[in-house]
Amino acid sequence: MAATKEQERKALEKIKKIVTDLGEDSYISMAFEGCFEIVEGNIENDFGCSMKQRAESSAAEAAKYKEMYESAVKDYEAEKRTVEELEQKVLTLEEAGVIKAILIDSKTEAIRRTEESARKIVEFADNPDSAEFKQAVQDNRHNKQLVEESEKLIQRILDTMF
């Protein structure tokens, strides 16, 4: 037959007294630390929980969090390596500045050649069917395209620099 809550409370008081009489430094007192609170909760709430169950539950939860932590550390290390690899691929401001200067020189040269080919177009305009005129027109178009491409690349470099 199951004991009543009142019988459980009285038995608990007797056990508490026995353990208290042994003193705080007794092995039994140390082993029962926190157990009486669990028993009181069990009686009041109709639970069947033990210190062992709580310890096992805490150990399982700790293992779960340890696994999560280890997974997070691995993810962090992988992301850190990715960042380091990407940083190696990014241009420094100095490198971007050098590239910008090269592109500006290229654009300046393309403008000069565009002007030169425009001058030739005018020079050979009297004979539009000549090979020289056709070449000058072709060169002019090509150089204009180089100017536009240089401008786009210069802007792209400027966008990445700031």
List the domain boundaries for the chain.
Answer: 5-80, 91-161
Q: 45-81: buried (b, 16+ CB within 10 Å) or exposed (e) per residue?
A: eeeeeeeeeeeeeeeeeeeeeeeeeeeeeeeeeeeee
Residue 150, burial from CB neighbour count under 10 angstroms (0-12, 13-18, 19+): buried
Q: Is the pTM of this model over 0.75?
A: no
pLDDT tens, position by position, 94-141? 999 999 999 999 999 999 999 999 999 999 999 999 999 999 999 999
Q: Tens of pLDDT along 16-50? A: 999 999 998 999 999 989 899 999 998 998 878 88
